[in-house]
Amino acid sequence: MMDWQIYLRLKLAVMCACVSLSWAQNCPSQKHAAAKFTINSHRNQTGHWISQVWLQHSPDSHTVTSPWMVEVEQNTASCKGVESVQLVATLTAPPIRAGPGYELRRGVGYYKIHTEPKTWQEARQICEQEGAHLAVINSEEESKVLQSLFAPVAAKLKVAWAFVGFHDLYNEGQYLTIFDEPLNSSGFYRWVVGQPDNWGGNDRSPGEDCGSIHTNGGLNDLTCTAKVPFICEQELW
C-alpha cells in the first residue's frame, strides 16, 4: 500500500444477511473523517436487491470538489434457502498533497513531466503508482501549461511528442480519455494540423492509438509502443 499522504485508498466490506430483510452491522470505533461513505440496500417489488452508494462531505469540509471514484463489487450466495449479498466497495480519493516532483499550476492542477521515455502503457502505470494519472487536457489554458512544462524537455531530448491521457484503443477513430469519456467533450480538442492520421495502421498493424501532445500544445495520435516523455497530473484537492 502506498503512503497515505500520496494516495488514499479506503475499502469497506459489508455483509448483508437477507433472512429478516435487515442489516447486521458490527463496526469498530472510527475517527471522524471529512467525508461520509455509506451503502444502502433494499429489495424492490420484483424481488431484486438495489444497492446505493453515497459519498457526502461533512459540513465543515472544503468546498472544493474532488474527483472521488467509487467501485462496488457485489456477490450473491444461497445456502439452505438463505440468500446473502456481499458488497465490497473501494473508494479512491485524490492525494491530500501532491507527490514528489509535482508542480502546482494554480487553478489548473499538479503536474509532473517524466523525462525518461516510456511506452504509453508504462507511462500510465507510473502515473497511477504516484497517485496520479496521465494528463487529461480540459482547456486551452491547461494545454499551455503542459506546453510550457514540455518545451524545455523537448528541446533537451530533441523530441516533439509527450504521452498524455487519451486513446482510441477500443475503436479506431473514437478517442476517449483514460476515464472512458469522449475526448471531444473533454473541453479541449485542438489537433496538430494533419492529425490524427493513424500512421502505419493497416490489417496487420494497429497504427497509432495512443494520445500525445506536441510542443505547440496540439494533440496527436502516436504508436503506443513508442517511447517518449510523458506528463502525469494530480487533481486539485
Query: pLDDT tens for residues 161-182?
Result: 999 999 999 998 899 999 889 9
Last residue of a domain, one of 58, 93, 128: 93
Q: 187 and 113: one domain?
A: yes
Mean pLDDT calculated for residue range 84-94: 68
The proportion of the chain whose per-residue pLDDT surpasses 90, expressed as a percent, equals: 44
Helix (H, G, I), strand (E, B) or coil at 78: strand
Q: Is residue 72 part of a domain?
A: yes
pLDDT for the residue 37:
56
Q: Is residue 228 part of a domain?
A: yes
Phi/psi at 92 (5° precision): -115, 125
Q: 151 and 62: one domain?
A: no
Q: 141 and 203: one domain?
A: yes
Q: Is residue 199 part of a domain?
A: yes
Q: 77 and 16: one domain?
A: yes
**Predicted confidence (pLDDT) at residue 68 exceeds the cutoff of 70:** no
Last residue of a domain, one of 71, 93, 115: 93
Of 12, 70, 59, which is closest to residue 35 (Cα–Cα)?
59
End-to-end Cα separation, the chain, in angstroms? 21
Number of domains into which the chain is organized? 2
pLDDT for the residue 88:
72
Q: 112 and 198: one domain?
A: yes
Question: Considering the entire predicted model, what is its pTM?
Answer: 0.63
As a whole number of angstroms, the distance between CA 16 and CA 235 comes to 35
Q: 88 and 108: one domain?
A: no
**Burial class of residue 47 (count of CB atoms within 10 Å of its CB; 0-12, 13-18, 19+):** exposed
> 83-122 in b/e burial notation, b at 16+ Cβ within 10 A?
eebebebebebbbeebbeebeebeebbbbbbbeebbbbeb
Lowest mean pLDDT among 58-67, 104-113, 116-125: 58-67
* CATH number of domain containing 169: 3.10.100.10
Q: 115 and 221: one domain?
A: yes
As a whole number of angstroms, the distance between CA 27 and CA 186 comes to 41
Q: Is residue 30 part of a domain?
A: yes
Q: 19 and 75: one domain?
A: yes
**Predicted confidence (pLDDT) at residue 3 exceeds the cutoff of 50:** no
C-alpha cell at 121: 502503457
pLDDT for the residue 85:
73
Is residue 213 very low, low, confident or very high in pLDDT (cuts 50, 70, 90)?
very high
Q: 145 and 169: one domain?
A: yes
Q: Is residue 134 part of a domain?
A: yes
Last residue of a domain, one of 93, 125, 160: 93
Q: Is residue 98 part of a domain?
A: no
Q: Is residue 3 part of a domain?
A: no
Q: Tell me the per-residue pLDDT of 6-63, one tens digit each, with 9 for 90 and over.
A: 333 433 333 333 333 333 344 444 444 455 556 555 544 444 556 666 656 554 443 3
Q: 149 and 225: one domain?
A: yes
pLDDT for the residue 28:
45
**Which one has a higher pLDDT value, 234 or 6?**
234
Domain assignment of residue 112, given as a range: 103-234
C-alpha cell at 129: 503508482
Q: 123 and 58: one domain?
A: no
C-alpha count within 13 angstroms, C-beta hemisphere, residue 165: 27
Q: 146 and 224: one domain?
A: yes
Is residue 231 very low, low, confident or very high in pLDDT (cuts 50, 70, 90)?
very high
Q: Is residue 19 part of a domain?
A: yes
Q: Is the CB of residue 142 less than 8 Å from the CB of residue 188? A: yes
